[in-house]
Structure 1
Amino acid sequence: MGRIALVDREARPVIFPVNYFFDEGVIAFRTAPGSKLDLAPGAPACFEIDGWDPDTGIGWSVVAKGIAHDITEPRGAPSGRIRFWPVRPLAPGPREHWIGISVTEITGRWFRTAAHRPVD
């Protein structure tokens, strides 16, 4: 699960959780008609994923930036392979449209929680 961040028509940030797949520099997710499909195509977008391992206390976060595109109609790789990508939305109902973010920048960090740091 990741989060896509966009800007709505009133210049307010909006964030949506999505199941995704990453292939050849493109982060892709499925969606239905509505806010994401209205806002994303042609727009700058950020995508964030994070995690935490309770056994080691290591957490991490990755942010990818790029331009979002409607890749529902295949126009070559990687969009030509979208029907084979293992993206299964958790939200009910059909999700026939695909949005892809062509990644231009990736940043990330990892950290260890205080409870798992060595004591000096």
Structure 2
Amino acid sequence: MKDLRGWWAVRGPVAVAAGLTVAAGLGVRAVAGGDAAKYAGDALYTVLLYALVLLVAPRLRPWAAAARAAGLSWAVELFQLTGVPDDLARHSALARLVLGSTFNPPDLLWYLAGAASAALAHLGASAARRRLTT
């Protein structure tokens, strides 16, 4: 039980943020369309990866986590150049959500925007927590 409390104390807020990010991504798709929804989804994809990176390595500094999340996003986007994600997306909605289907150069910029936004939010939350505990 003590280990679970420790896990939750360190990773709980990140797990909640990951869930909220998924909800935001689904919400954007439900209320918006076109490029706005697509690029918001790209940025939120990287925000989710940021949270997943922190779940695995909670002691990472925000900009290090942002670099890893952006790097993973870029790797997935570049993987789309092989055509494999497109083939998988035709057979699986999950593969389409996780890997996308076709390479789109502007996505690379939106992944950076998502990573930077996540790092800035993380820094802001950390500063607020420090103010509350001092």
Quick check: which one's helix share is greater?
2
TM-score range relative to shorter protein: under 0.3
Higher relative contact order (CA 8 A, sep 6+): 1
TM norm structure 1: 0.28
